Structure 1
């Protein structure tokens, strides 16, 4: 997909069900949002408390239930260069197709927050990317380097970092805060590397068409919030109706059926396997 020269849009899942839904509607790849996983697993915002083992075990379970590749949010790599190397090896062994690693300091925080995001020095971040590339055993395991430098250091510094990270071996780069076609074109001209963009479901990123993104060298558009925002609204509406009315008749037309739910989970395939290997059949 990286080499095809066309944009691939990926919804960001946070559990096995949301990833299976993405697969069932035809997406050729899915991403994995650390922000949403922190909310789903811990009930906490994206403030850097999700650990490597929690993220890894959860991602591996999801990936094993899919037929399409999944790219994961690996935060800062969970420490220094040694931690980054372990992170790469663990995610690769778990069947993940690739990860993105950011240059934030620890503790990291959600890159969409309006406050400034502190980042490592460029040299230290480059060393972490070199370590990540060195650690992988499969060349097809993608290393995406993300920089959050724009919020405090501006677009020029962020673009320069993206170029350095690509030169350090990253397969693609992601500049948080580069949200318009002009900003992305500027990054592309400086970085000379395939771009990844995070679509926020609001603001300028939702206006970016496939043609626009492809023209600036974007290969992946990660829709980080689509699953979590859709789920929060749908569940809040359904739970509110149940709480207030003691039934869900007013929202039932927005709920799936038992049959649709099982179809997404592949129930028929499992029942067929059970029949195939049942000695009593």
Structure 2
């Protein structure tokens, strides 16, 4: 079963899929080991991890594609990947969608922000015209019809400058143009979230940024509103950065850092040393026989 087929099967279930977001192969691997069914490569977190810079359109298509490949090579759960604005015009969108599909992504997110885009919960973002936004999703769907086995996650940030009504109208058109999952970014109240789910067809994704603009509801509340996916784009990145920062402060003072650390045995196991040794053992055995 392809990754896209796995994701379609998950979305056919009548439940909320909790989706911690990864930023590299190791974080994705830990998400899978934690028992989660899917993950999303957060552009915000990947930009911070890979180039140490904010998510303001600085990472290139090639860098993002390489990050996607690293993650899909290390995991078996479906990966939803952040395709930003498609990295150019409609023809670039087609290339992005086809490239992500070849890299093993189960879905690609295409959004309607102006380039360079920015995090949906930070100031200064703006969206392109309806016509350009629709062309992006049309091009993404065309790439799929040309053979890209991948789902389309269509995102609109129109709520910020143009209101919820405009965002819902754009998302509804995205669905008409072939989008499989709809993502209205940054609704500000529970009532807005309820309206999004009530008025739009198909699976909807909520984006929960701790300290962001969207209410941080419980899983049960998100499910009852009608969301199919709850994405947590910065939770793991924020946890990792706090742990590293706290540990560095302890090291600076020559304090006891062991309470902050995963034990060495568990660390090796989670990275995959034990699996490697188990598989490699059969080759050492055959070598001895010869």
Q: Same fold (TM over 0.5)?
A: yes
1:84–1:61 Cα change, 3 Å: same
The count of aligned residue pairs is 277
Instruction: Give the alignment partner of residue 129 of structure 2, picking from 121, 131, 142.
Output: 121
After TM superposition, list the pairs within 5 Å mapping 1:193-212 onto structure 2: 193-202=202-211, 205=214, 207-212=216-221
Task: Tell me the SS of whatever aligns to 2:11.
Answer: coil
Query: Distance between the aligned counterparts of 2:148 and 2:221, measured in 1?
Result: 29
Whether 1:241 aligns to 2:230 is no
After TM superposition, list the pairs within 5 Å mapping 1:23-172 onto structure 2: 23-113=32-122, 115-136=123-144, 141-172=150-181
Instruction: Give the alignment partner of residue 280 of structure 1, picking from 260, 284, 287.
Output: 287
1:206–1:25 Cα change, 3 Å: farther
Task: Tell me the SS of whatever aligns to 2:116.
Answer: coil
- Give the drift of 1:32: 0.8
- Give the drift of 1:205: 4.5
- Give the drift of 1:111: 1.2
In structure 1, the partner of 2:3 is: none
1:242–1:60 Cα change, 3 Å: same
In structure 2, the partner of 1:232 is: 241
Query: Distance between the aligned counterparts of 2:157 and 2:127, measured in 1?
Result: 7
TM score, norm. by length of structure 1: 0.93
Work out whether residues 112 and 133 of structure 2, in 8 Å CA contact, stay in contact via their aligned partners in 1.
yes
TM score, norm. by length of structure 2: 0.90
Comparing 102-111 and 204-213, the one that deviates more: 204-213
Gaps of 5+ in 1: none
- RMSD of equivalent CA atoms: 1.7
Query: Distance between the aligned counterparts of 2:152 and 2:188, measured in 1?
Result: 21
In structure 2, the partner of 1:189 is: 198
1:117–1:205 Cα change, 3 Å: closer
Work out whether residues 98 and 148 of structure 2, in 8 Å CA contact, stay in contact via their aligned partners in 1.
no
Query: Distance between the aligned counterparts of 1:55 and 1:143, measured in 2?
Result: 17
In structure 2, the partner of 1:213 is: 222
Query: Distance between the aligned counterparts of 1:188 and 1:132, measured in 2?
Result: 23
Tell me the alpha carbon deviations over residues 220-248 of structure 1, each in whole angstroms, 9 at most, x when there is no partner.
11101101110111000111111222x5x
Work out whether residues 110 and 155 of structure 2, in 8 Å CA contact, stay in contact via their aligned partners in 1.
yes
Query: Distance between the aligned counterparts of 1:63 and 1:224, measured in 2?
Result: 18
Work out whether residues 129 and 145 of structure 1, in 8 Å CA contact, stay in contact via their aligned partners in 2.
yes
Instruction: Give the alignment partner of residue 15 of structure 1, picking from 21, 24, 34.
Output: 24
- Give the drift of 1:95: 0.7
